[in-house]
């Protein structure tokens, strides 16, 4: 609920990036076909320039979408890490003396640092579950 809207906006950028990945080879094929069929009179130079312009625009949009995706997921990851560290710290402050004897300070610090870092890394690479097979 707290991190969902920003995370889902990042997913939209990732989907857009993955769709644009398929545009490069398709546009290259169109350019090669255009160059091979140059003896036909119905092709104009403007069409070839349009293919090249669309290819450059697609590459630019890919870069922008990927950067926006990583910016948003890293931001969500940092907020999630801060929330986990804060909640563990608050819980550690409320522990009774008997409960503190069961858990060492090292275990609590481990949860606050290592496990919170793993949660942060999860947000960055969670979308690879559906994106990597593409």
- Residues 23-42 have pLDDT tens digits of 999 999 988 888 887 666 66
Across 42-69, average pLDDT: 89
For the stretch 70-89, what's the b/e string if a residue is b when 16 or more beta carbons lie within 10 angstroms of its beta carbon? eebbeebbebbbeebbeebe
Model confidence at 69, pLDDT cuts 50, 70, 90, reads very high
Question: What mean pLDDT, rounded, does the chain reach?
Answer: 85
CA distance 40 to 106: 75
For the chain, percent of residues with pLDDT exceeding 90: 31
């Amino acid at each position: 609920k707290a991190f969902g809207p920003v995370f889902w906006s990042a997913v939209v950028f990732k989907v857009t990036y993955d769709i644009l990945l398929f545009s490069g080879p398709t546009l290259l094929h169109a350019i090669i076909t255009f160059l091979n069929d140059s003896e036909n009179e119905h092709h104009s130079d403007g069409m070839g320039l349009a293919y090249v312009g669309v290819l450059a625009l697609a590459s630019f949009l890919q870069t922008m979408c990927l950067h926006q995706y990583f910016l948003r997921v890293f931001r969500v990851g940092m907020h999630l890490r801060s929330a986990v560290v804060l909640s563990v710290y608050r819980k550690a402050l409320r522990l009774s003396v008997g409960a503190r004897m069961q858990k060492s300070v090292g275990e609590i610090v481990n949860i606050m640092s290592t496990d919170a870092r793993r949660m942060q890394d999860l947000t960055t690479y969670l979308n690879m579950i559906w994106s990597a097979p593409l």
